[in-house]
Amino acid sequence: MAVLRPCLVGQRRAGGQMARYGMPAPLAGARVVGHVPWVPVVRDLALQMVHADDVARAVLAVIERRASGAFNLAGDGVVTGSDVADALGARPVPVPRGLPRLAVATAWHLHLGPLDPTWVDMAAGAPHMVTERARRVLDWRPEHRAVDVLHEVVEGMASGAGGAGAALRPAGPWSELRDWLAHGTVARRTRP
């Protein structure tokens, strides 16, 4: 058995979904990317990202080589808060470590934001993966650097990009607002 353990996976077509994760629902399809004046940045935040195509190549390598065991997958480099600000065309503003969590928690409890604050905790505490075994056993090398994956995702957010299926549905201002008004935020939805 093989287990692939990718870090945060991104691609242009995930832009609409990433916008829904990171913004209040009425704004997710409003194309606010490029119009954000500043981004709060925690000094030591560093996240790994990997492109969906690189993950797909790893899956193919596992099948072709009949490989087994665990394989960590991450693009080269890390994404910092300043990289996020740059990708959004915004100015980075240093903030204390607890402020982003407080903002997300407030939005969550007011039913304005889609993210539970524990997602911020998870991002802040995510270990950096070593991909040596995937490189050695699968002869796998990521073709996309982490920061390039970020820029591609942000470009997808700006255009409302999406793909087939509900998880990757494109984001549009009216569809997001209509969905939010009809069903409320994720925090308020109940199972049918």
Q: Distance between alpha carbon 17 and the CA centroid of its chain, in Å? A: 9
Q: What are phi and psi of 41, to 5 degrees?
A: -125, 125
- Beta-sheet pairing, 46-47 with 2-6: unpaired
Contact 38, 90 (CB under 8 A): yes
Helix (H) or strand (E) holding 2: strand 2-6
pLDDT bin (cut points 50, 70, 90) of residue 188 is: low
Q: Is residue 120 assigned to a domain?
A: no
Per-residue tokens: 90: 């915004």
pLDDT (tens digit, 9 = 90+) per residue, 128-155? Answer: 999 999 999 999 999 999 999 999 999 9
Average pLDDT rounded to a whole number, residues 56-85: 97
Q: Distance between alpha carbon 141 and the CA centroid of its chain, in Å? A: 21
Q: Is residue 191 assigned to a domain?
A: no
Q: Is residue 148 assigned to a domain?
A: yes
Report the C-alpha gap between 27 and 166 in whole angstroms: 19
Report the C-alpha gap between 92 and 99 in whole angstroms: 14
Q: Is residue 81 assigned to a domain?
A: yes
Give the number of domains in the chain. Answer: 1
Q: Is residue 46 assigned to a domain?
A: yes
pLDDT bin (cut points 50, 70, 90) of residue 180 is: low
Q: Where are the beta strands (DSSP E) in 83-134?
A: 91-94
Domain extent, residue 58, equals 2-97+127-183
Average pLDDT across the chain, whole number: 85
Q: Is residue 190 assigned to a domain?
A: no
Say if residue 192's pLDDT is above 50: no
Q: Is residue 133 assigned to a domain?
A: yes
Report the C-alpha gap between 81 and 144 in whole angstroms: 19
Per-residue tokens: 50: 């990997």
pLDDT of residue 114: 78
Q: Is residue 115 assigned to a domain?
A: no
